[in-house]
Amino acid sequence: MKTRTLIFLGFTALAAQAHASSPDAWAAYDKAVLASCVKASGLKNVEPVGSAAQFDDRVGYTALLLQGQYPQKHMKGATGTELCLYRKKTKTAHVTEWDSIRPASADR
């Protein structure tokens, strides 16, 4: 009887892992990361640049590069870049300016 219980628990764990990494689950997670990062951003018309970088669960973060326009008048709509770190455990996003990641452009 114990063997059947262990086998059942093993299959249950595998099924839960398979469900957690389904395409729909990843799409929902990506949507949550983007929404949280956009909300935390100080830029206007902010958009993601590329795809999010998924760090191992031991690290606990997803990184997403954002780009938009600085809202301050003196910036005259210059393009800005921010790095967003989304903490999986708390479902919170934190951003920092990261303009140095891209080459200088004429709109700076």
Please tell me the distance from the alpha carbon of residue 29 to that of residue 67, in angstroms, as a whole number: 20
Residue type, 7: I
Please tell me the distance from the alpha carbon of residue 68 to that of residue 83, in angstroms, as a whole number: 12
Output the tens digit of pLDDT for each of the chain's 108 residues. Answer: 554 433 433 434 444 444 458 999 999 999 999 999 999 999 999 999 999 999 999 999 999 999 999 999 999 999 999 999 999 999 999 999 999 987 655 555
- pTM, two decimal places: 0.74
- Domain ranges for the chain, please list them: 23-101
Please tell me the distance from the alpha carbon of residue 33 to that of residue 30, in angstroms, as a whole number: 5
Kindly state the DSSP code that residue 89 receives in the 8-state scheme: T
